[in-house]
Amino acid sequence: MAGLLTVHDPRGYPPVVAGKRLAQRLESLNGKTVYLVDCLFDNSAVFMAQMREWFAQNLPQVKLKDIQPRESWVDDPDMRAKVAADGDAAILGVGL
């Protein structure tokens, strides 16, 4: 076809994505241990402290534990292992 150009695709090669299931959900938070994970972004500690207060006032039967990763943005396998071993659920905030 005159006047038409064939050009290369400029994008790289993406990895294959394997589907992963979510963890089984809890029937209720009553009596369960929930880790509040402070992701170390600016002011997230204050936010998580407010979250703790909210639970204390509204769902006092939930056991809360505070924890922080070793560094922001860096995976912390030790912390993950601790949450998995001792916790029933986790709330992470605030930030990616």
Partner 1 sequence: MGLALALENAGVPTVAIHTHVFARLAKSVAMANGMPTARQAYVPQPLVDKSAGDLRAYIEGVDPVSKRPFMQEIIEGLTSALSSADIKGLGFERSTPRLLPADSEDNLHRMFMENNWTDFLPIVLPTEERVEAMLKGTSQPRNKIVGRLRPTDFREDWEFDVEKVAVNAVMAGAKPEYLPVILAMASSGLTARSSSTTSFAAFGVVNGPIRNEIGMNSGIGAMGPYNHANMTIGRAWNLLSQNLQGGSTPGETYMGTLGNYFAISGCFAENEERSPWEPLHMRYGFKREESAVTVFRGGRYMQAGYGPRDDWEDKMRRSFAACEARQSPLIVMDPIVARLYEEKGFNKQKLIEWCAENARLPAKEYWNEMWVQTLIHPKAVAGVEPYASYLKAAPGEMLKLFSPGEIHIVVTGGETQGAWRIFEGVRMKDCTVSIDKWR
Cβ(63)–Cβ(26) below 8 Å: no
- For 63, phi then psi, to 5°, come to -90, 125
Size of the site for partner 1 (CB under 8 A): 68
Does 64 engage in binding with partner 1 (CB under 8 A)? no
Does the protein bind partner 1 through residue 2 (CB under 8 A)?
no
CB of 66 to partner 1, least distance (A): 14
Pairing of strands 89-93, 33-38: parallel
Closest CA to 67 of 40, 88, 32: 40
Is residue 63 close enough to count as binding partner 1 by CB under 8 A? no
Q: Which residues bind partner 1 (CB under 8 A)?
A: 1, 3-29, 34, 37, 39-44, 46-47, 49-51, 53-54, 58-59, 68-76, 80-81, 83-84, 87-96
